[in-house]
Amino acid sequence: MRANQSTTPPFVRLAPNRLAPFVLTCEHARMQLPPGIRTNRADRAVMGTHWGWDIGGWAVTRELARRLATGATGGRWSRLWIDLNRPAGDPTIVVAEIEGHALSWNDGIDEREVARRYALVHVPFHGEVDREIALRVFHGVRPVLLAIHTYTPVWNGRPRRYDAGVLYDESRREAAYLAAALREDGLETRYNEPYSGRHGRMYSIDRHGRHYRLPCLELELNQALFSRPGAAARLARTVERGLRTIELRTRGKR
């Protein structure tokens, strides 16, 4: 099923300070579909769950960007339209069904339609992130890259009782600084959980970090945290402290 052609960019941008030493992304920021896509009640029920978006992720990203005086880039459309955190050719970049429910807009989707969405959504999103990084690098700023995601507290019937995960591959030192800030705030934090940054699961931020040889991390937050009033603001304060520590401790070493 095709969306109407639109001049609306497939990403959302917060007002940027384009030379701030941080680049923030939230690939699964929203649960909306492009204009013109029809859905049924069962579709909409899936869209509102963790399958459709990273609940709470964009709220933390917005507050963190404000506190850091930097911009952020978020995905405008649901991950169930196309997943910005998957590479081209990944079989899960577009999924046909969720827990036995066939998604009406992906019913019968073929490779040509996947390629069309990739060109119209995936490529511009990563192009925007790349522009934000390249501008900084051109002016001598070597930013810290952070992708913000959230995860469901129960997966396949098994509870995830920890509060946060810091995903990393080569940026071990930076991961330790961020994890320390989270733990100081009383959050049980693990490395490379619920997914490993070493197994291609933090594709988006890793692709940019590797290209520019910059420290890059993905932060995963338990969606159960967002049941508490003011959770996004509190979490953003904690993450800000970790990122500023990274920037201070690693300045001149990147």
At 27-59, the pLDDT tens digits run: 999 999 999 998 988 899 999 999 999 999 999
Predicted TM-score (pTM) of the model is 0.94
99, pLDDT greater than 70: yes
Give mean pLDDT, residues 200-229.
94
Q: Which CATH superfamily is domain 11-250 in?
A: Zn-dependent exopeptidases (3.40.630.40)
Distance CA 86, CA 94 (A): 9
Q: Which residue has the tokens 């639109």?
A: 6
Q: What residue type is 215 in one-letter code? A: P
Q: What percent of the chain has pLDDT over 90?
A: 83
Give mean pLDDT, residues 62-80.
96
- Name 225's Cβ contacts closer than 8 Å, sequence gap at least 6: 56, 163, 231, 235
- Beta strand 97-98 with 101-102 is antiparallel
Give mean pLDDT, residues 7-17.
86
Give mean pLDDT, residues 214-224.
97
Q: Please count the CA atoms within 13 angstroms of the CA of 16 that sit on its side-chain side.
A: 21
All structural domains of the chain with their residue ranges: 11-250
